Structure 1
Amino acid sequence: MSVNKVLQVHPKDNVLVALQDLHKGDTVNFGGKSYLLKDTVKAKHKFVTEDIDVGGQVFMYGVLVGKAKQPIATGEAINLGNLKHAASDFSIGERHLDWHQPDTGAFEGKHFMGYHRKDGRVGTANYWLVVPLVFCENKNLGKLEKALVEELGYGKTESIDTQSLQLIDLYKSGKSLEDILGADLNPEVAQPKKERLFENVDGIRFLSHTGGCGSTREDSDALCGLLAGYITHPNVAGATVLSLGCQHAQASILKAEIKKRDPEFDKPLYILEQQKIGVTETFLSEALKQTFAGLMQANQHQREPAPLSKLCIGLECGASDGFSGISANPAIGFTSDLLVALGGSVILSEFPELCGVEQNLSDRCIDIATAERFSSLMHTYNDRAVAVGSGFDMNPSPGNIRDGLITDAIKSAGAAKKGGTSPVTDVLDYPERQSKPGLNLLCTPGSDVESCTAEVGAGANIVLFTTGLGTPTGNPIAPVVKLATNTVLAEKMSDIIDINTGTVIDGTETIEQAGARILDYVIEVASGRQLIAAERNRQYDFIPWKRGVSL
């Protein structure tokens, strides 16, 4: 089978993407033309297909992604030395709401097994939350976690713990430094997990954080909104809230945010204030009793069939590479289109990574008011970043750049592929809740964990997370499915990857085939039949966004 060496993503592009390592002096044939390479071009990187003068424009994905800092000759690789970030301006234009809806015949009549809530939403899991309103309660949070998780059958001794015991035994037996460094430790020795007491409760999750006081009121209010999003989330049966009492993030603010998201909120909610109760031991005893009572109530819920229209999928990427916008991102973009066509919801966030594709997204907004809100949020965010000496152009990380994402516009054009092609039905500001089916845009930073945290807070009951370099991240209450953009990563870091979309790069699967395969996998995860890597690894990352700090 012939394997393509290069790819032109869009007919307008004047760069070709290397699908494998190409060497200086090689001749590459594509589209009836031959290109003599002036540089070695590593896989995921790009070379230009025409001579470009200083200030000349470079296009990829059909959009402007940079301008030449110096002349770039045909066959020369683009890099930080010869290319700078550039993106087209955007304005409120005509509506372009027509889209090619995918054939959903293979999914008609399919359902997932979920937890039905009284507000009409359906959860893909059933968790109890323990939430501090302020960082001062993190220590008490840890004590409750230690008291509950393993004893109730939600955890076991890690193999790394047993390996440390093996090292202690070696040290006590008089082994030398060289013996210790060369020791062959057994990672299989671990204590068995205790039997789960509450069969229908998937776990108890503890949302430790560093906020609630000592920062701006905007931050503490946003934190209350985010926590309310988690408490009212369909994957959550109820919550225990720990408050010190004097912090900015007051229980009254939290209750108001809960009511805003769910006016008929009726889940069990226990709020304890340490300064009112007094002695820590008494405070923790009350929290323990009330949490246990909440678990008894949560255990009464059971999975029942639900239509796919009840799924809300967060679309996320992190540790991205030059293949992200070619394989994994467009694959989940097709998954997104499938779900939207079935009546479901998706959330696309990371506003700094929509730089350069704003016009397309603005034109796809369902009405002018929605487009104007998107424009306002984008401009406000960038202006605030510039005011503190930054800007969207500083978004790509060293890892992104090393693996082919030279400018923010290149990264953004590929990242936006996660949203598919459907109309934008709503634009949300952090930490608002998603309420309309279809494609929703949520203002968050490009920082993947902060963005993922926000998507779940907005209502995503499952997250599709693409990665080209590898990241272990997960979320406390929503399954985060990790998709590798390339086969090398999928095999190298198989313990943290769930799905390989490197098949698209390898030429063994189309984007549409991969997207449909992903939706089938999502149904299994949503039904509790497929355990994802982040859950196996107990990776529960939760980072609230302090606005204006993160890109």
Structure 2
Amino acid sequence: MTRFRIMTKNMFLQIDTHDNLIVALQPLAKGNRLRVGRHAIELIDDIPEKHKFALKDLDQGDLAVMYGVIVGRAKRPIRCGELITTDNLDHATTEYRETHEPYQWQAPLPYPESSTQFMGIRRPDGKVGTANYWIFVPLVFCSNQELNELKKVLPPALGYGSTSRYAHFTEELVKQIKTKGAPVDPVISLDSFDPQPEPLFPQVDGLRFLTHHMGCGSTPDEAEELVELLANYITHPNTAGATVVSLGCQKAEVKALQAAIVRRDPAATKPVFYYDRQSWAEPVDMLEAIIRQTLISLHQANELSRREPVPVSELVIGVECGGSDGFSGISANPVIGRAMDHLVGKGGSVILAEFPELCGVENEIVSRCAEPELGSRFLELMKSYRKRVQAVGFDFDQNPSPGNIRDGLITDAMKSAGAAKKGGTSPVVDVFDYPGHASKRGLNLLCTPGGDVESTTALAGAGANLIIFSTGLGTPTGNPIVPVLKVSSNSDMARRLEYMIDLDTGPIISGKKSLDKLGAELEKLCVETASGSYRAKAVRLNQEDFIPWKRGMSL
């Protein structure tokens, strides 16, 4: 397992002693002479912060190594001290290996003053929520219009209308146009309005509307996957109840959803109401019925929902990254991984997803699988996913975005080696495909795309009651029902996008804080968020992103 530390005022980092690529922790000028271990290096290029340079000469075809694993292959000769770019390095990885030896792991000692409980919402089925939402679910895109109408009226009327600040701001500008002919007053500011009125039902955190563009015109498999995902959201411990709206003739049928819910909740512990538009003569009648039932249900949910002390082991944390940079794999992701090891050590659960961003670290993951069949299942999911990608003329190596590359993640293997650090070092206890659900305590692997919203949508569906999301460039992604905590890899971005970031791990890079210090801070933040005493920035920003993974063809 790769171990590393960054000393104060270091200008560069060799993550693993086997690495022949070195990370610049600050801009390094051409001509600088550096010593890395026994290697004396003169830089032959300017090396931007977060980027890599060669520790030694590499011939064409030689393998590039970071984190102790292969992350690329030289496209041409690369000189010692040369900047690594897409012009001189191609994606390359180690071949899959299915051998399995027992994985030895020791849970870390708890942090000083580490919490053993949080204030959660215990549901009748025994699950524990970290939030309390009523959700509105369309079974098909044809029903989005009804949900949009409900969203216009219900949240503002019930005190959940946090976007009212923009309405007030617009109203003031309109008044100026009417009275003065133009909006001329520069004093008007969004800060002068209170965006959070007191809700009518304070024990309910809000209403969520899961609009999407699926449910019909697709393969049967895709309709089934949508139904399974929606059933996961309806039975999620962060959901108080649900209103399901359908057209009536869609491929994602009501009876299929009801059967999926019964499989998850045989005792029917959660209220779910169904409305079929084709059964109503007028849509206004259906919407009025929904509004009446919603208020009755919210009153009941408000009376029944109370937070109580529960063990930290009830946390199920999904880990995600997006807008990653060259520091993500040496600051934010290792901090998340350290905190997740502590959670697993206390009996909690972690879900690691984004399979295209595990490309290149397959052998390390297989070696951590608690049972040999888990390693085989993981490799089979990776292979089948890759075949689907290759069938349309692409491959995993095209995963990095222009922003990733610009900030130092030159190959997918390089990006993956850092992304995998979010999962910590504990054994893998289960591996399952989308839209599956985590059922075992410990580290779980869920097959999802690398796309931020598709993956966070799947993580919440898999049972995560909290999501931790690392970012180096800044991304606002949230989820309708699960708090998403943003962890920055660098302090510059954390300062610039303070409104978006919940925890800054940039002090790792500067050497001002240790991995354990920030891991303890993250653990504390998770407990506060799960207890409802801290509101994640994504929640404050109303980032309610929901995109089911569309794997099938439209028909």
Determine the C-alpha separation between the residues in 2 that align with 1:239 and 1:48: 56
What letter matches 1:282 in structure 2?
Answer: D
Query: Deviation of residue 516 (structure 1)?
Result: 1.5
Structure 1 position 437 matched with structure 2 position 441: yes
Aligned pairs for 1:87-486 within 5 A: 87-104=93-110, 106=112, 110-169=116-175, 171-172=177-178, 185-190=188-193, 193-299=196-302, 300-486=304-490
Q: Give % identity.
A: 51
Q: Would the alpha carbon gap of residues 154 and 163 (structure 1) be closer, same or farther in structure 2, given more than 3 Å must change? A: closer
Determine the C-alpha separation between the residues in 1 that align with 2:380 and 2:61: 29
Determine the C-alpha separation between the residues in 1 that align with 2:258 and 2:385: 28
Question: Contact conserved, 1:381 with 1:548, CA < 8 A, in 2?
Answer: no
Question: Contact conserved, 1:88 with 1:356, CA < 8 A, in 2?
Answer: yes
Structure 1 stretches of 5 or more lacking a match? none
Q: Which residue is 1:515 aligned to?
A: 519
Structure 1 position 30 matched with structure 2 position 36: yes
Q: Which residue is 2:26 aligned to?
A: 20
Q: Would the alpha carbon gap of residues 373 and 158 (structure 1) be closer, same or farther in structure 2, given more than 3 Å must change? A: same
**Range with bigger deviation, 208-217 or 332-341:** 208-217
Partner SS state of residue 542, structure 1: coil
Question: Contact conserved, 1:157 with 1:191, CA < 8 A, in 2?
Answer: no
Determine the C-alpha separation between the residues in 2 that align with 1:142 and 1:368: 48
Query: Deviation of residue 96 (structure 1)?
Result: 3.7
Determine the C-alpha separation between the residues in 1 that align with 2:41 and 2:181: 61
Determine the C-alpha separation between the residues in 1 that align with 2:127 and 2:409: 38
Q: TM-score, normalised by structure 2?
A: 0.95
Query: Deviation of residue 198 (structure 1)?
Result: 1.1
Partner SS state of residue 190, structure 2: coil
Per-residue CA deviation, residues 24-56 of structure 1 (Å, 9 max, x unaligned), is 111123324321111111110000101000001
Structure 1 position 539 matched with structure 2 position 546: no
Question: Contact conserved, 1:138 with 1:208, CA < 8 A, in 2?
Answer: yes
Partner SS state of residue 151, structure 1: helix
Question: Contact conserved, 1:110 with 1:308, CA < 8 A, in 2?
Answer: yes
RMSD: 1.8
What letter matches 2:358 in structure 1?
Answer: L
**Range with bigger deviation, 37-46 or 107-116:** 107-116
Structure 2 stretches of 5 or more lacking a match? 1-6
Determine the C-alpha separation between the residues in 1 that align with 2:273 and 2:281: 17
Q: Would the alpha carbon gap of residues 432 and 454 (structure 1) be closer, same or farther in structure 2, given more than 3 Å must change? A: same
Q: Would the alpha carbon gap of residues 218 and 495 (structure 1) be closer, same or farther in structure 2, given more than 3 Å must change? A: same
Partner SS state of residue 80, structure 2: coil
Per-residue CA deviation, residues 222-249 of structure 1 (Å, 9 max, x unaligned), is 1111111111111111101001110011
Determine the C-alpha separation between the residues in 2 that align with 1:104 and 1:22: 39
Determine the C-alpha separation between the residues in 2 that align with 1:508 and 1:318: 25
Query: Deviation of residue 121 (structure 1)?
Result: 1.4
What letter matches 2:236 in structure 1?
Answer: H
What letter matches 2:108 in structure 1?
Answer: P
What letter matches 1:62 in structure 2?
Answer: G
**Range with bigger deviation, 27-36 or 529-538:** 27-36
Determine the C-alpha separation between the residues in 1 that align with 2:87 and 2:192: 51
Q: Which residue is 2:50 aligned to?
A: 44
Partner SS state of residue 156, structure 2: coil
**Range with bigger deviation, 288-297 or 512-521:** 288-297
Partner SS state of residue 541, structure 1: coil
Q: Would the alpha carbon gap of residues 290 and 175 (structure 1) be closer, same or farther in structure 2, given more than 3 Å must change? A: closer
Question: Contact conserved, 1:95 with 1:365, CA < 8 A, in 2?
Answer: no
Determine the C-alpha separation between the residues in 2 that align with 1:496 and 1:418: 20
Per-residue CA deviation, residues 140-199 of structure 1 (Å, 9 max, x unaligned), is 1011122210111112444444443454455556768xx97x956522233664321112
What letter matches 2:72 in structure 1?
Answer: G
Question: Contact conserved, 2:8 with 2:510, CA < 8 A, in 1?
Answer: no
Determine the C-alpha separation between the residues in 2 that align with 1:452 and 1:157: 23
Per-residue CA deviation, residues 427-481 of structure 1 (Å, 9 max, x unaligned), is 0110011110000000000001110110000000000000000011111101000
Per-residue CA deviation, residues 326-367 of structure 1 (Å, 9 max, x unaligned), is 000010001110000000000000000000000111121111
Question: Contact conserved, 1:335 with 1:515, CA < 8 A, in 2?
Answer: yes
Q: Would the alpha carbon gap of residues 172 and 193 (structure 1) be closer, same or farther in structure 2, given more than 3 Å must change? A: same
**Range with bigger deviation, 47-56 or 265-274:** 265-274
Query: Deviation of residue 260 (structure 1)?
Result: 2.7
Partner SS state of residue 273, structure 2: strand
**Range with bigger deviation, 513-522 or 313-322:** 513-522
Q: TM-score, normalised by structure 1?
A: 0.96
Per-residue CA deviation, residues 50-108 of structure 1 (Å, 9 max, x unaligned), is 10000010000100000000100000011000000001111211134211321126366
